[in-house]
Structure 1
């Protein structure tokens, strides 16, 4: 085999390799167009979607066309009415032209009247602006009154709740007083008679408060006639606050227990303490 034959053999081998690579590439990139068309998101499904969309658009177009036709009929009717009115106005205009000369003589007077009416219009415009401002102010005042009414209503409801609580407390205290009177009457006692061992009429102040233990320290003690078990009344500014029972006494001070059943408010340092309340 000469050189030319060897060259052709090599060339044929190279071309065979190239065509084999191309065939493999074509095979690898091959697509099943039927699957592409018939799949869920394929061309057929897209075409059906477009057809449904077109049908909906056609229906919408038909409805819009019907509305447009009705609107055209209504406009034709209105136009016919306007043409009739125009005919009437044309007749009126023809009659008015007959009096043009007489009206021309009154032009100056009408111009003066027009100027006066223009001035009146300006005044009315200014008055309307002022009235709008007053209306806005009245609306703002109304809104403020409404807000204040709501607040007062809430306050009134709160006060009603407080009154109800006080009424319930009053009824409870009235029942207790009635029960105490029944007990005193059953025992044959006179409520105005002094009790044996009752403390003398003394008063002082709350010095220290121990709220966790419900104890207070007061400024009157053994030398003032206080004894263990005596009851003390606590007031503030002439208003009843609570009741105490003496637990321990010293010469010039005493420790007393807070009786919660008789408490109307929280005891504060400096509150007045009395052995009796007149």
Structure 2
């Protein structure tokens, strides 16, 4: 056998071995592919089933969520309508609040004004009450004075009636005495007679000097009153001295004088009645009434 034949045989053997290996590999690969194919078919079937289940769940989920979305949209629309209604109501309430605030401010201003007026009226009332109380007290005092004056007037009217009666009686007696004096030939215009007939007016003066006649012991006093004061010869005056704190400021009676000489602004009288415990001195008082 030639070398070429040997080489071809070797090549044939090598190729046979290669083809055997290749066939074994193909067979092994075919067997593995079939198993993998069956496994993949099972996986595809399982996945298809899972996908169907997922599609069913997704459909249910989509239906539920679509329903929820629709419900949410309906609720949103209702909420929007309610919100718009609430917004309008809030705006209306805000307008009402603004109106009420304005009315409140007006009421507060009126209340403050009313309070000030009430305070002023209360103060005015208090002042008027004080004035009324003062007027009431004044009225009561005036009523008391009026009552006292009415009593005084009543007493004075009684005295006046008594004095009128006495005056009429004295006039009758004076007329009677004038007739007697005229029958005796005495002039009634003689100052001595006039002083004896007419009582001295209500006067008050001072002793301005005293003097005693050593021959007959007669004591003469000069007084600060005269004919200008309504005095005449024959009028009699009372002499007294103001007291001191020891005897309670009571006046002390010193005696009585009878005027024997009368000037317009002064007169001289003699002491006709002297108190036992008093001496008439300069500065003592004279009065026509005790």
TM-score above 0.5 = no
TM score, norm. by length of structure 2? 0.33
Structure of higher CA gyration radius: 2
TM-score by length of 1: 0.34
Compare relative contact order (CA 8 Å, sep 6+) and give the higher one, 1 or 2: 2
